[in-house]
A and B are shown apart, each in its own frame.
Chain A
Amino acid sequence: MRIAFVNALVELAKNDARILLLTSDLGYMVIEPFAEQYPDRFINVGVAEQNMVGVATGLADAGFVPFIYSITPFAVLRPFEFIRNGPVYHQLPVRIIGVGQGVEYGFNGNSHFGLEDVGVLRTQPGLTIIAPADDAQTKTAIEKTSSLTGPVYFRLSKDSFEIPELSRSFELGQVQQIGSGVDVLIISTGAITREVIQAAQLLSDQGLRSTILVIASIAPAPVSDLIKVLSAFKYAFTVESHYITGGIGSLVAEIVADHCLNVQVVRLGFEVLLNNALGNSAYLQAANGLSAEKIAFRIHKVLEESI
């Protein structure tokens, strides 16, 4: 997605002179196409994420649209107060790019994991939050948010892949639906949607047909889309590469409570501190019950026990 993002930005910048790209010294073998094509619109601010957000705030106030790039915790958590007091409070079109959904930086360890970014940023009024599920959705989302006058956060995977079922679609405040099975409802966000689709296949092998809702537009939240579908199910399983607090599991639970919907939310995500053995992304997801097999197993178990 990070490559898809840069390619989309190069295209968009052709017709939009306001676009700048700032990095806090990250993005080797990713950002070069932009930096080479627009050297005057590219700034490596050095290893200084707080200043990157502050400088972007000043630039945006003068009419620019700065995209600021880093690995998720450095893009979001280190400069959080700057995001809050700068682009959010002043409602300026700063675009924050956080690379690494969940544990994608595997061996790099906890410092590089993005497990609470959505939870932290979802508290901020007027901040659009986008978590694409594949490359094509990244491109569409970058294009469809280009005219927003307020700040946007993009939670991107560092990997490149396509989910054909999504057919490039993205709309602010809407979900993308895959399948229309009546037995299981799974709500997913981001790259882990690949595991969810496989999990749905495994469930289907056992005779359970799934509906998958993909939330790429976390804020504005796809409230009416969710309400429509949630009411038809007894359980809603949310799956995310994020702590179960604050992410889409929380979002769905809030909507269920706000609208008194008669559905039980089961949140699948990271639940404990990852202070045990580390590994690659797939290993860590599996170890935390988030591989396709484990997702299918956990869903099956809940449904079986409910009978």
Chain B
Amino acid sequence: MTPQVSSSQIRKIILDQAKRANVGHIGSALSVADIIAALYFGVMTIPDPADSDRDRFILSKGHAALALYAAFFLKNWITSEMLDTYCSDDTFLPVHPERLLRGVDFGTGSLGMGISYAAGAALAAKMQNSKRRVFVLVSDAECNEGIVWEAAMFAVHHKISNLYVIIDLNGQQALGYTQDVLDTAPLGKKWEAFGWHVINVDGHSPEEIKNAIQLCEQEFTRPHALIARTTFGKGVSFMENKIKWHYWPMSMEEYRLALEDVERLS
């Protein structure tokens, strides 16, 4: 499966499951669909979720978990029956990822913590002389959290070059646009000022993400920040850049239109 094929499948699963469960966070999940596709189907080495030397992934912006569950399904780590338990009672697939689901390296949901876990996990790999890498996906608004910068300083100081932070720069947060709520710009320059190896990428081009990460492999002294420019709600025209779709579930008609859009995109 190529990342391109999988990102459209991820989008369709996001819509199907969000509709079935009647929950929101759709726009956030669509925003990261291509990043998740690039990582799981083009970048990370995970022969098995239990392999101790696998690459690690932490979805620090835990509210986009539906995109992650879609990738797990496409990797055959969870069955369609299990996927259909999303946000049902007795599920292992809640809104934010929990450790109890095979394949989830760290449970998240409280913004900012994932990057700190990731710094420790990547440092552990270095101390154990392992080649494994740690990827952590954070949102731009998540960079409001002080812990992001504590961890950023730590990772540079300890030259944790097997750590990859991918920032989903969609310019939106729960209650408004980031430039109106708490402006994070210029985000790339901030990461650079903290000493990170920064690359700007199109967050909707799995190929570009994959190539950028390959480029990072030649930088051995600094951790890497991929500033991935994205569109909130990407792929569904009426959701794109609309604050409403951070929380809102779809009506039947909206679901139908959204599916049409996503199919057109693929």
Contact = CB atoms under 8 A, between A and B. Distances in A.
Q: How large is the interface on B (under 10, 10 to 19, 20 to 34, 35 or more residues)?
A: 20 to 34
A64 B110 CA distance: 24
> Which of A46, A58, A81, A86 has most chain B Cβ within 10 Å?
A58
Majority SS at the chain A contact face: helix
B191 interface: no
B110 A59 contact: no
Interface stretch (B34-42, B150-158, B241-249): B150-158
Contact of B119 (A40, A55, A60): A55
B107 A54 contact: no
Given A51-B150, A54-B113, A82-B116, A89 B124 contact: no
Contacts of B123: 55, 58-59
Interface string B95-132: 00001000001110110010111111111110110000
Contacts of B118: 58
Interface residues of A, number: 25
B83 interface: no
A232 interface: no
Given A61-B105, A61-B106, A62-B128, A48 B120 contact: no
A82 B107 CA distance: 12
B199 interface: no
Given A61-B124, A63-B124, A89-B99, A48 B154 contact: yes
B259 interface: no
Interface string A144-170: 000000000000000000000000000
Given A50-B147, A62-B125, A57 B117 contact: yes
A57 B106 contact: yes
Nearest to B109: A85
Nearest to A54: B116
A55 B58 CA distance: 13
Contact of A90 (B106, B127, B157): B106
Contact of A50 (B120, B124, B134, B150): B150
Interface string A65-101: 0000000000000000110011001100000000000
A282 interface: no
B113 A90 contact: no
Contact of B110 (A40, A56, A81): A81
A51 B147 contact: yes
B99 A54 contact: no
A58 B106 CA distance: 9
A203 B115 CA distance: 56
B220 to A, nearest CB: 19
A182 B109 CA distance: 53
B113 A89 contact: no
A226 B198 CA distance: 59
A86 B109 CA distance: 12
> Which of B52, B119, B120, B134 has most chain A Cβ within 10 Å?
B120
B43 to A, nearest CB: 20
Contacts of B109: 85
B70 to A, nearest CB: 24
A85 B113 contact: yes
A45 interface: yes
A45 B154 contact: yes
A288 to B, nearest CB: 34
B120 A82 contact: no
Interface in A15-57: 40, 43, 45-46, 48, 50-51, 53-57
Nearest to B116: A54
Given A48-B150, A82-B113, A86-B113, A55 B120 contact: yes
A90 B99 CA distance: 7
Contacts of A86: 113, 117
A58 B113 contact: no
B116 A50 contact: yes
A90 B107 contact: yes
Contacts of A40: 127
Interface in A203-248: none
Contact of A61 (B113, B116, B121, B147): B121
B151 to A, nearest CB: 5
A43 B124 CA distance: 12
Interface string B128-160: 100000100000000000110011011001100
| 8 nearest A-B pairs in the assembled complex, by CB-CB distance | A58-B120, A54-B116, A62-B124, A58-B121, A55-B120, A51-B150, A48-B150, A59-B120
29 contacts: A45-B154, A46-B157, A48-B150, A50-B150, A51-B119, A51-B147, A51-B150, A51-B154, A54-B115, A54-B116, A54-B120, A55-B119, A55-B154, A57-B120, A58-B119, A58-B120, A58-B134, A60-B120, A61-B105, A61-B117, A63-B52, A63-B124, A64-B124, A64-B127, A81-B113, A82-B116, A85-B113, A86-B117, A89-B99
Given A51-B147, A55-B116, A60-B120, 7 more contacts: A53-B116, A54-B116, A55-B120, A58-B117, A58-B121, A59-B121, A61-B105
